[in-house]
């Protein structure tokens, strides 16, 4: 049974490699919350089909004490905008969130977070280019 499992894992990895799909990201590979197939969460290290969209979608995180600023350098229009930012633990607990409107001028959120976690994940969701994540140190 174990051999069969290993065979299946290896087959999936080979198939993923052959198709250019990466199943988990390098920096988030050990994070249970984001150890999921490409095509659900994108990162600047593994942008998948959105390789040309990194600059406008990967969230940029600045930490200053308890203050965490998340910025997505993306335009905001009624047809195409950043919908949401979240701060999430690696176990998947949402610590903070902000939902944007297409009328917002920019996709910047500021959170005051007190946590014992050493590393958190910021997410940014575009209505056309899916969810992006960035692992950062607090
Ligand atoms: Fe977008």
Query: Of 80, 61, 81, 56, nearest to 71 (Cα)?
Result: 61
Extract the runs of DSSP E, i.e. beta strands, from the chain: 41-42, 60-64, 67-72, 82-89, 94-99, 107-112, 119-126, 130-137
More confident call, 136 vs 21: 136
pLDDT band at 35 (very low <50, low <70, confident <90, very high): low
Ligand 1 mean position, distance from CA 27 (Å): 22
**Domains in the chain, please, with CATH?**
25-137 (2.60.40.730)
Dihedrals phi, psi of 106, to nearest 5 degrees = -150, 170
Ligand 1 mean position, distance from CA 7 (Å): 38
* pTM score, whole prediction: 0.77
Instruction: Check residue 30 and give its pLDDT.
Output: 56
Ligand 1 mean position, distance from CA 90 (Å): 25
Report, as an integer, the average pLDDT of 104-126.
Answer: 96
Ligand 1 mean position, distance from CA 135 (Å): 20
Instruction: Check residue 28 and give its pLDDT.
Output: 62
Does 99 score more than 90 pLDDT?
yes
More confident call, 111 vs 9: 111
Ligand 1 mean position, distance from CA 117 (Å): 30
Mean pLDDT of the residues in the chain: 82
Ligand 1 mean position, distance from CA 75 (Å): 8
Ligand 1 mean position, distance from CA 108 (Å): 15
Token pair belonging to 91 = 């176990």
Rounded Cα distance between 60 and 87, Å, is 12
Rounded Cα distance between 21 and 7, Å, is 18
Report, as an integer, the average pLDDT of 51-69.
Answer: 97
| Tokens 């659900």, residue located | 40
Q: Are 70 and 87 in contact (CB under 8 A)?
A: yes
pLDDT band at 40 (very low <50, low <70, confident <90, very high): confident
pLDDT band at 21 (very low <50, low <70, confident <90, very high): very low
């Amino acid at each position: 049974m174990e051999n069969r499992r290993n065979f299946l894992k290896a087959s999936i990895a080979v198939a993923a490699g052959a198709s250019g799909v990466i199943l988990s990201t390098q920096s988030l590979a050990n994070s249970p919350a984001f150890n999921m197939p490409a095509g659900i969460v994108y990162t600047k290290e593994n942008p998948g089909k959105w390789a040309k969209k990194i600059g406008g979608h990967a969230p940029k995180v600045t930490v200053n004490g308890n203050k965490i600023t998340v910025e997505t350098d993306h335009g905001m229009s009624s047809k195409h905008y950043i919908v949401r930012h979240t701060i999430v633990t690696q176990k998947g607990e949402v610590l903070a969130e902000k939902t944007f409107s297409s009328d917002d001028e920019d996709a910047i959120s500021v959170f005051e977070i007190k946590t014992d976690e050493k590393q958190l994940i910021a997410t940014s969701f575009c209505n056309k280019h899916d969810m992006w994540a960035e692992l950062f140190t607090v």
